[in-house]
A and B are shown apart, each in its own frame.
Chain A
Amino acid sequence: QKEVEQNSGPLSVPEGAIASLNCTYSDRGSQSFFWYRQYSGKSPELIMFIYSNGDKEDGRFTAQLNKASQYVSLLIRDSQPSDSATYLCAVMDSNYQLIWGAGTKLIIKP
């Protein structure tokens, strides 16, 4: 059973600080990794994707991938109250199936 694991949280971070969200996956053959943001009552929104080991930056967001350790993380710099949401990690496995984590609830405290 291929799995994607996330801490459910909630993760509480002060405004302006760095929020760090983590995700581990079981299928070593996985190739594509995604972070989605989901506001309460809304549908998931793709915010980052990463394919290669290392860091990928987009504005205040940085995705980090370490295939050897089978984890992917999302850093949010200068956290804002509008970043408060549930963050879903999704991994496309070696069979091109998209496996979803259960999500981490992030709360940014003003």
Chain B
Amino acid sequence: SAVISQKPSRDICQRGTSLTIQCQVDSQVTMMFWYRQQPGQSLTLIATANQGSEATYESGFVIDKFPISRPNLTFSTLTVSNMSPEDSSIYLCSVEAEEGVDGYTFGSGTRLTVV
């Protein structure tokens, strides 16, 4: 199944700044998904990123706050902009585990703390 390298693994950032999270996949994938997981809670989908088109954002998430790039079929970035303490969370990227198989595999996650 696909293997994802996600970085950074963690960061502590000042409010008002931005952080860009990178995900590199070891195979070409059509869609990449960006999730947020707040402590003790389940996963919330932020957006779906397709190569060559704008990302599709879920309700409550906007491009100005969470811009996404998808320059090719193996790479994507998520930026958390103008951060506030409420953005402290774990951010995860995800892709289909195997072509033709439902189910998704995740990157190792980025633990973000905003102070």
Which range holds the interface residue count of chain B?
A: 10 to 19
Task: Please determine whether B42 and A101 come into contact, CB atoms closer than 8 angstroms.
Answer: yes
Mask: chain A, 21-61; 1 = CB below 8 Å from B; 0 = not = 00000000000101000000111111001010000000000
> Which stretch in B62-70, B71-79, B80-88, B96-104 binds the other chain?
B96-104
Contacting residues, chain B, for A42 (C-beta < 8 A): 108-109
B 3-50 contacts with A by CB, 8 A? 41-45
From A32, A41, A103, give the contact of B42 (CB < 8 A): A103
Contacting residues, chain A, for B109 (C-beta < 8 A): 42-43
Contacting residues, chain B, for A88 (C-beta < 8 A): 42-43
A18 at the interface (CB under 8 A from B): no
Bound-state CA distance A44–B109 (Å) is: 10
Nearest B residue to A32, CB-CB: B102
Instruction: Give the total number of A-B pairs whose CB atoms are below 8 A apart.
Output: 37
Contacting residues, chain B, for A102 (C-beta < 8 A): 41-42
Nearest A residue to B105, CB-CB: A46
Residue of B44, B97, B104, B111 most packed against chain A (CB within 10 A): B104
Nearest A residue to B45, CB-CB: A98
Task: Please determine whether A92 and B102 come into contact, CB atoms closer than 8 angstroms.
Answer: yes
Task: Please determine whether A43 and B92 come into contact, CB atoms closer than 8 angstroms.
Answer: yes
Contacting residues, chain B, for A100 (C-beta < 8 A): 42-44
Nearest A residue to B106, CB-CB: A43
Nearest CB of B to A110, in Å: 24
Binding site for B on A (CB under 8 A): 32, 34, 41-46, 49, 51, 88, 92, 98, 100-103
